[in-house]
Structure 1
Amino acid sequence: MLRPEVLDYYKRGGEHHRLTAGAGRLEFLRTWDALTRLLPAAPAHVLDVGGATGVYAVPLAAAGYEVQVVDPVPDHVAHAATLPGVTAVLGDARSLPAAADTADAVLLFGPLYHLLSRSDRVTAWREAARVVRPGGVVVGATISRFASLFDGFANDRFGDAAFRPLVEGALSDGMHRPSSPERGWFTSAYFHHPDEPAAEAAEAGLVVRQRLSVESPLWMIGPRLDELLASAERTALLLEMLREIESEPTLLGASSHQLTVAVRAAASA
């Protein structure tokens, strides 16, 4: 189901701690903040596709949602299945192990950047549309086409001669193709232009409602971000202010991640 290098990346621990500090913590806080406003009220059935070890499934279950993780990595599924209030099954976003019209919401937090062909990504959106109930919401996360370029300067990666070709490739066609896993860079992925996810979702038959920047350009401020997030008061202010600009289209490409929010059209009367 997964390309070998992608599976190896996650078997090595992949992003196990990525969402616990700095830009990763901001990504988690902003994504969770968005989910609290986008999802139907609990109890509702949420299919967390590509949910890995349950980073979002845990707080969703704690909030009263019925959550099922679908993931292609066996170790992820085994771990997620041990979480309170969470079920987990092995599966592929392109052929979900779920019946039609059974989920109130579907999260695609991972599949859309590990499916390198557009047809596969549209299929994943179409599968989400199949399993979600009429009127249900589908939220897809994507990585910005320009993320590796900004990351290269924010984290001083251009000193490695192999990094610039990686960036140039992503800028050219969206394909992030790391040559050496031992460098610790993110694995093979597709980096979307900000306009692409909505077009893919629409082709799958969904109605796009919103495009949200997740971190905004603040993900690039380095250690200063950890200082901000160490204060509950400043974190609350940060989240409040970012809500005000999350739908600003001119900021989408400067955010490391983007959320595309779509719904399945309600059945005609």
Structure 2
Amino acid sequence: MDAKRELQDFYQSYDEEARLASRCGKVEYVTTMHYIQRFLKPGMRILELGAGTGRYSHALARQGYSVDAVELIERNIQQFRQNTREGEPVTIRQGDATDLSWLEDNVYDLTLILGPMYHLFDPEDQRKSLREAVRVTRPGGVLFAAYCMADPALLSTGFVRGKIQDLIAEGLTNPVTFQTFSRPKDIFQLYRKEDIDALRSELPVTQLVFAAADGLGHFMRETIETMEEDVYRPYLDYHLTVCERPDMVGWSHHTLDIFRKNEDAARMGESPGTMEL
């Protein structure tokens, strides 16, 4: 079964709408919106790739921003449309983040890549997705790319759940370096910080922020879900104060790489397949 079919089957039963609504998931949402708000300016045009059910797209459209969303999974698109309020300046189109050939160069002020990198297993597809996102973003525009991190997943599955020998036997973990490997049937591609740095280094961009989107939340899920409000609010504040610390980001299940398209990038050949990086 190919990767797209695996993904379609997974999201037929996975409740994407509820993921960011839980208290634990809300940490990721609050963190991402915190940084989006930092870079927003009036009149910005926004693109969200892998928009899911539209949690971010709708929130930004309801603030008055013009948002175009692209999503691969039909079930998510249906939910996205159901969540759309009358008059929202938002569009949704089914599409693949690795090919945005129907979009012109240098269009968007803010481009969100908050889902695609989770599910791209071929390194060339990873590069294509990022190149396409940069191509359609205006010089000086800001891009957000979200990743699932390898070591928290290895710790929680391999050691907390006691499956390390299974992972090694299946070739999903190197027993010497503990590097992880994912297959389409595993649904999620896992990265280390050096993998993300290498992908970004090929782009005509300048990094602005690298942050832990949910910090230690993956290991504290039960605790976070049952926190009283007078504890939960300070916990969110604490997380936002430490989420950029280098000693914290590697433990986060999700991370945000935020970067700006260089002002001189428009002079480059930026159509798909011809972009000189």
TM-score (norm 1): 0.84
Shift of the 161–14 alpha-carbon distance from structure 1 to 2, 3 Å rule, reads farther
Q: What residue in structure 1 maps to residue 96 of structure 2?
A: 92
Rounded to whole Å, the distance in 2 between the matches of 1:178 and 1:133 is 32
Aligned equivalents of 1:266, 1:24: Cα separation in 2: 35
In the alignment, the residues of structure 2 paired with residue 234 and residue 107 of structure 1 have an alpha-carbon distance, to the nearest angstrom, of 31
SS in 2 for 1:136: strand
* Percent of paired sites with the same residue: 22
What is aligned with 2:57? Answer: 57
Alignment of 1:18-167 (within 5 A): 18-37=19-38, 39-82=39-82, 83-84=84-85, 85=88, 86-96=90-100, 97-152=102-157, 157-158=161-162
Deviation string 1:183-221 (CA, Å, 9 cap, x unpaired) is: xxxx42210102222321221222222211111124312
Letter in structure 2 aligned against 1:249: P
The count of aligned residue pairs is: 258
Q: Report the CA distance shift for 1:153/1:15 in structure 2 as closer, same or farther (over 3 A).
A: farther
Query: Which residue identity does 1:201 align to in structure 2?
Result: R
Quote how far apart the aligned CAs of 1:173 are: 4.7
Q: Distance in 2 between matches of 1:222 and 1:128?
A: 32
- Report the counterpart of residue 16 of structure 2 in structure 1: 15
Aligned partners of 1:175 and 1:188 also within 8 Å: no
Deviations 1:150-192 (A, max 9, x none): 33379x643798567579438855433486xxxxxxx422101
Output the amino acid matched with 1:95: D
Gaps of 5+ in 1: 180-186
Distance, in Å, in 2 between the alignment partners of 1:172 and 1:159 is 13
Q: CA deviation at 1:55?
A: 1.4
In 2, the alpha carbon distance for the partners of 1:166 and 1:251 equals 29
Unaligned segments of structure 2, at least 5 residues: 268-277
SS at 2:55's partner residue?
Answer: coil
Residue 23 of structure 1 aligns to which amino acid in structure 2? C
Counterpart of 1:210?
209
Q: Which 4+ residue blocks in structure 1 deviate beyond 6 angstroms?
A: none
The 2-side partners of 1:262 and 1:19 are apart by: 23
Q: Deviations over 1:128-153 (max 9, x none)?
A: 11101110001000001113233337
For the 8 Å contact 1:69–1:80, the answer to whether it is kept is no
Indicate if the aligned counterparts of 1:157 and 1:163 stay in contact, CA closer than 8 A: no
